[in-house]
Structure 1
């Protein structure tokens, strides 16, 4: 190979190859700094990118699970609020019936208690009817149960059983038209009201257990998402301290490469001295 040639400049070619390599590395480092990712696309690392995308899909799906659990909690909480109000009103009914069972009470006073009793009884119906969230009512008998998503694939659910607290049902055995006219008929209602109060307490306990289960699972899903996002970060996130140091090194290397290419390009000018 000719050492002095105007057609071929090996030194310049080598310097250009090294400069192009440095520029490529610099572009990669700058992209990592800009995006914060060492694997930002499939061309960076196909296998890692595929794994990360799969896990991102799982995390996204868990958002739907979290929303489903939140809706379920809201439905149960509304039902519990209604049930607690009904329990309080049953206690008031007991008080009215007990007062009316007093044989020494005059008719006018007993009739007033009867009106109060009927008003509270009807309020129970209204309370149960209005205990609806997102179109679901667990305490008036319209919905037997609800199911909330428990995992990202939808293959598992958490079921909350409805508690039908309608008057005249299995929980509140007090009839929808229950009333009294005499002391004895008022006294006869006491056992039914007592049983209804106990049954409502049992139903509230079941709803409370279901609400706690939904809350606990929602907490687990949140922690699972955090762990998965941390795992994705371990796979694809760039080490910014490392990339920053690398950026400065490559910028210096780029400047040296430009100077080396400039020197190599000037080497052919020595050929002119041969013809002077």
Structure 2
């Protein structure tokens, strides 16, 4: 089947299915980009939860009223350094310049189907302000260190919940990407079946014509032989 002239209905159906299958490449690219964007955010989130855990340890240690000033100040400096690393982790959580962890966007929508419908992922801010902390979060004595334990524990819970939500989105993208791949394979197979079916018909037609041609040649040969036999009677 080379063109619409061969079989208009089958040609149109095959072309439509082929076009849809081809357009799904863009969908798969978009979904894969979504996967990578979430994966980067999840990796940053793992780092951030580890940092929060260490911050909690420092705050707990600093809440010990028996510490001397030097030890307390060392714990305070460590706490603040860990806090600043959270900002760096959230800021660097970008894929192709896009982040769903640094608070610069509220959601991203990736292509989901050939009709242009989308798969929306809600951003989860993992920067300090998104976790209930600030760039100035610290402690100045044992009492404020004790209070900071509660604050950091809350931030850790917030981060964990946000990562769980991103994990669910990641699973959803994986599942849909698998579906799109199978759909594309089915469409390609469908186009092949349509073309093969049409080729089978054309092959049958050709065989029929060849048979008729052979029968015609045989009939002509028989007729020629009969004519020769009749003519011989008059010799």
Structure 1 residue runs of 4+, over 6 Å off? 239-265
- Which moved further from structure 2: 110-119 or 51-60? 110-119
**1:230 aligned to which of 186, 189, 192:** 189
Post-superposition Cα deviations, 1:224-262, rounded to whole Å, max 9, x if no partner, equal 111111211221126999999998998898789789889
Q: Report the TM-score, using the length of structure 1 for normalisation.
A: 0.73
Instruction: Measure how far apart 1:127 and its partner are.
Output: 0.5
Aligned twin of 2:233: none
Aligned twin of 2:113: 151
In structure 2, distance between residues paired with 1:187 and 1:227: 61
CA contact (8 A) 1:40 1:236 kept: no
Instruction: Measure how far apart 1:134 and its partner are.
Output: 1.6
Give the direction of change, closer, same or farther, for the CA distance of 1:229–1:107 in structure 2 (3 Å limit).
same
**2:160 aligned to which of 194, 201, 207:** 201
In structure 1, distance between residues paired with 2:216 and 2:69: 110
Structure 2: which 5+ residue stretches go unaligned? 225-235
Instruction: Measure how far apart 1:40 and its partner are.
Output: 2.8
Larger Rg: 1
In structure 1, distance between residues paired with 2:108 and 2:96: 12
Give the aligned CA root-mean-square deviation in angstroms.
3.3
Q: Report the TM-score, using the length of structure 2 for normalisation.
A: 0.85
Aligned twin of 1:115: 77
Aligned positions of 1:1-276 closer than 5 A = 39-154=1-116, 156-167=117-128, 169=129, 171-237=130-196
Tell me the number of residue pairs that the alignment of Structure 1 and Structure 2 aligns: 235
Post-superposition Cα deviations, 1:199-248, rounded to whole Å, max 9, x if no partner, equal 01111111111111111111111111111112112211269999999989
3-state secondary structure, aligned to 2:66? coil
3-state secondary structure, aligned to 2:131? coil
Instruction: Measure how far apart 1:180 and its partner are.
Output: 2.1
**With CA pairs under 8 Å and 6+ residues apart, which has the higher RCO, 1 or 2?**
1
